[in-house]
Amino acid sequence: MKHMKPKVKIIFPGYESAENNGRSCSNVVLIRTDDRNIIVDPGTLPSQEILIEKLKQEKLSVADIDIVFLTHSHIDHTRNVGMFAIAKVLDFWGWWDGDLSSEYQNSDLEYIILYHTPGHSYDGVTLLVDSEDGKIAICGDVFWKKDYPKKDPFATDLKALKKSRKKVLKMADFVIPGHGEMFSTK
């Protein structure tokens, strides 16, 4: 039997330093499938208690998280990965199970496809989730927010970033950017 399509939710809304006195934290996203709970980018957060509380509101604890996905290696997205000591980590390099890494296959997770989307950073990865609300691209800082920034001051490769942005907009119905609200591509 096919599983139900995943549910996707921003459980902690991100912000970026220019608008927030030098403080920066990514969106923290929860993907729930029939049999797995996935956190995308556990962020910096003023305190880890906040994330524990947000999970509680979803009737989850830290131990219920099976997978932590990192969109790229910038610390405002990754700092709290250590909170999830028993979760597998998925990033640019593939799976991490403790200290053991292995390649990711797109058949590993039903309804979820991983795309390399470099430009903001060389290791940028986007998850395309075929969710119950449509195709949602969780793209890290390919976009910080809708149409923003026009010219990414931290981009390692602006040309590659332009290509990645185009790709993300084309494949998704909705985009969850690195730091702002979800937006529609239509």
Contact segment (CB under 5 A) with Zn ion among 12-20, 70-78, 102-110, 167-175 equals 70-78
Q: How far is the CB of 27 from Zn ion (least distance, A)?
A: 12
179 binds Zn ion (CB under 5 A): no
CA distance 136 to 175: 6
Q: Which of residues 122-141 bind Zn ion (CB under 5 A)?
A: 141
Residue nearest to Zn ion (CB): 74
Q: How far is the CB of 92 from Zn ion (least distance, A)?
A: 13
Going by C-beta distance under 8 Å and a sequence separation of 6 or more, which residues neighbour residue 35?
3
Strand ranges (E), 84-164:
88-91, 94-97, 100-102, 112-116, 125-131, 134-138
Say how many C-beta atoms besides its own lie within 10 A of residue 138's C-beta.
29
Phi, psi of 10 (to 5 degrees): -80, 115
User: Of 6 and 43, which has the nearer Cβ to Zn ion?
Assistant: 43
Q: From the list 32, 54, 74, 179, which residue makes contact with Zn ion (rule: CB under 5 A)?
A: 74
Q: Which of residues 139-178 bind Zn ion (CB under 5 A)?
A: 141
Instruction: Enumerate binding residues for Zn ion (CB under 5 A).
Output: 74, 141
